[in-house]
Structure 1
Amino acid sequence: MYTYELPSGIEIELKEMTGAEEELLTNQRLIRNGEAINQVLRNCTVRLGENDKPAVNDILDLLSGDRLFALVKLRQISLGDEVELELTCPNASCRMTNYVTVNLEDLKVTPYTEEREFEFKLPGSKKAVRFGLLDGHKEKRLAALREPNISSAMMIRLIEIDGKAPSKKSLAEMPMRDRSALRQEMARVDAGIDTTVEVDCDGCGTRIRTRLEAEPAFLFPGVRL
């Protein structure tokens, strides 16, 4: 068993993934609705704080940064620290394959503060906005949307806009300057593990940007899916 402190400060004890978890992670229906990761984390979490029988709902209660941190640690103890990526250049005139090695021990981890709700004054309209952090329940709701977009990702975290419940209309009418500032503030207060990978193409210098968990090699090294 392996014990870690999550970015929120909760202690988690994990065990290695097995073939059962691999089956979950290759089930396209469970991948689409977000249940695959929830089940994998549930199966491999031996203890969560003082809870030695964590259920799926306990996994959903975790903040998103904690969940991703746990997934990265699961990958490490199950498959090793290094992830060998093959990244295709997005430049249509290049499309060169770039080989990149990422050591998971080198990823930056930012701890959460004790705050769970935040207030922010929009720079343009001067309206006060209150929002919360993303957790597993909100991730599940986003995964259930037919076409999740920037607005839905923001809406799911909003609690109030100028003292009123947020609506699609109020968010759609929000000036772009305010929306951009709000997204930046949401990103600023987020915590967890940074899985961003940014490299310059060896062939043409175009910037390639991805996230480790989005790459097949993160959980399936050597397998072409």
Structure 2
Amino acid sequence: MHIFELPSGTEVELREMTGAEEELLTNQRLIRNGDAVNQVLRNCTVRLGEIEEPSMKDVLDLLSGDRLFILVKLRQISLGDEAELELLCPNTACRAANIVTVNMDDLEVTPYGEEREFTFDLPGSKRKVRFGYLDGQKEKRLAALKEPSISSAMLIRLIDIDGAAPSKKLMNDMSLRDRSALRQEMLRVDAGVDTTVETECETCGIRIRTRLEAEPGFLFPGVRL
């Protein structure tokens, strides 16, 4: 077994992934609704703090930064520290394949603070917004949406606006200035493991940016585009 400290400070004990988890991660239906990753996290989390054999609810209650941290550590203990990615150039006139190797021990981890709710004054309207972190429960609700958007990803984190329950209309009516400022504030307080991968295309020099967990080589080494 392997023991780590999550960004939230909770200790987690993990076991390696097996063929059962690979089957889950190749099930397209389970991938689309997010259940594949949730089941993998549930299967491989042996202990969560004082909780032995955590339930699915325990896994879904985890903050998103903790969940991604666990996924990265599961990849490391199951398949090794390095992931070789084949990144396709986004330039339609180029489309060259670029090989990038990422060592997961080098990924920056930002710990969570003690706060779980935050207050922010919108710079334009001067309205007061309360919001919280994204967690597995909210991720599951987002995955269930037919057309998730930037608005829905922000809205699901809101607790209230000037004491009133948040709504899709309130988000749509919010000025771009206020939306941008709120989005930046949410990003500022977020924690967890930074899985951003950036490089330049070796052929045309254009910038390539992705996230480690979004690439096939993260969980399936040797897979080519």
Matches for 1:88-103 after TM superposition, within 5 Å: 88-103=88-103
Give CA deviations for 1:138-193 in whole Å, capped at 9, x if unaligned: 00000000010000000100011122111111110000000000000000000000
Q: Does 1:174 align with 2:174?
A: yes
**Unpaired segments of 5 or more residues in structure 2?**
none
Q: 1:222 aligns to what SS in structure 2? A: coil
AA partner of residue 65 (structure 2): G
Q: What residue is the counterpart of 1:183 in the other structure?
A: 183
SS at structure 1 position matched to 2:51: coil
In structure 1, the residue matched to 2:131 is: 131
Match of 2:70 in 1: 70
Please state how far the C-alpha of 1:224 moved relative to its aligned partner.
4.2
Instruction: Report the residue type matching 2:104 in the other structure.
Output: L
Q: Does residue 1:27 correspond to 2:27, yes or no? A: yes
Aligned counterparts of 2:175 and 2:57: Cα–Cα separation in 1: 37
Deviations 1:23-42 (A, max 9, x none): 00001111011010110011
Report the Cα distance in structure 1 between the residues aligned to 2:222 and 2:90, rounded to whole angstroms. Answer: 22
Alpha-carbon distance between aligned partners in 2 of 1:32 and 1:195, rounded to the nearest angstrom: 21
CA distance in 1, matches of 2:41, 2:130: 30
Indicate the residue corresponding to 2:38 in structure 1.
Answer: 38
Q: Look up the match of 2:52.
A: 52
Which one-letter code corresponds to 1:106 in the other structure? D
The alignment of Structure 1 onto Structure 2 pairs a total of residues equal to 225
Deviation, 1:223, is 2.6
Identical residues among aligned pairs (%) = 77
1:130-169 → structure 2 map (5 Å cutoff): 130-169=130-169
How far apart, CA to CA, are the structure 1 residues paired with 2:168 and 2:56?
Answer: 30
Q: Distance in 2 between matches of 1:224 and 1:13?
A: 32
Question: How far has the Cα of 1:219 moved from its partner?
Answer: 0.2
Partner of 1:117: 117
Alpha-carbon RMSD across the aligned residues, in angstroms, is 0.8
- 1:197-208 correspondence runs (5 A): 197-208=197-208
CA distance, structure 2, for counterparts of residue 201 and residue 71 of structure 1: 28
Q: Does structure 1 conserve the Cα–Cα contact (< 8 Å) formed by 2:86 and 2:224?
A: no
Once the 2 structures are TM-superposed, how far is the Cα of residue 200 of structure 1 from its aligned partner? 1.0
Stretches of 4+ aligned residues off by more than 6 angstroms = none
Q: Determine the C-alpha separation between the residues in 2 that align with 1:208 and 1:19.
A: 32
Work out whether 1:6 is the aligned partner of 2:3.
no
Alpha-carbon deviation of 1:204?
Answer: 1.3
Q: State the alpha-carbon separation in 1 of the partners of residues 204 and 224 from structure 2.
A: 25
